[in-house]
């Protein structure tokens, strides 16, 4: 069983990861808007592609979480398919 301090630490780490993911999404949105007026360079194209892949990976995880019993199923799914997590949340899996 985890202590209160461990739970607080995990919540704080995940809050920071969520903030990082949101800021990356905001940057991708800015680049997508920019692409309507001017062409993107290769680095910007890679950033947009990676962020769109992260968003696409988060949708199935959210869908599983919303299913009855999904809160129990999602950790198992992450163990079996670690690539389902967005890049901001993958650093602790190993």
More confident residue, 27 or 91: 27
Tens digit of each residue's pLDDT (9 = 90 or more) over 22-80? 888 899 999 999 999 999 999 999 999 988 888 887 777 777 777 888 777 777 777 77
Q: What is the pLDDT confidence band of residue 93, given thresholds at 50, 70 and 90?
A: very low
Instruction: Say yes or no to pLDDT of 86 above 80.
Output: no
CA distance 73 to 43: 37
pLDDT higher than 50, residue 94 = no
Q: Which of 54, 45, 39, 42 is nearest to 87 (CA)?
A: 54
User: Is this prediction's pTM over 0.75?
Assistant: no
Domain ranges of the chain: 4-88
pLDDT number for residue 66: 79
Q: What is the CA radius of gyration of the chain?
A: 16
Give the model's pLDDT for residue 1.
53
Per-residue model confidence (pLDDT) at position 38: 93
């Amino acid at each position: 069983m985890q202590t209160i301090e461990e739970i607080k630490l995990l919540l704080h780490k995940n809050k920071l990861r969520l903030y990082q993911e949101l800021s990356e999404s905001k940057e991708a949105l800015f680049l997508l808007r920019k692409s309507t007026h001017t062409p993107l360079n290769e680095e910007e194209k890679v950033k947009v592609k990676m962020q769109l892949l992260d968003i696409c990976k988060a949708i199935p995880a959210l869908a599983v979480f919303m299913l009855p019993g999904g809160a129990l199923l999602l950790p198992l799914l992450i163990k079996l398919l670690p690539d389902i997590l967005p890049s901001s949340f993958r650093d602790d899996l190993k």
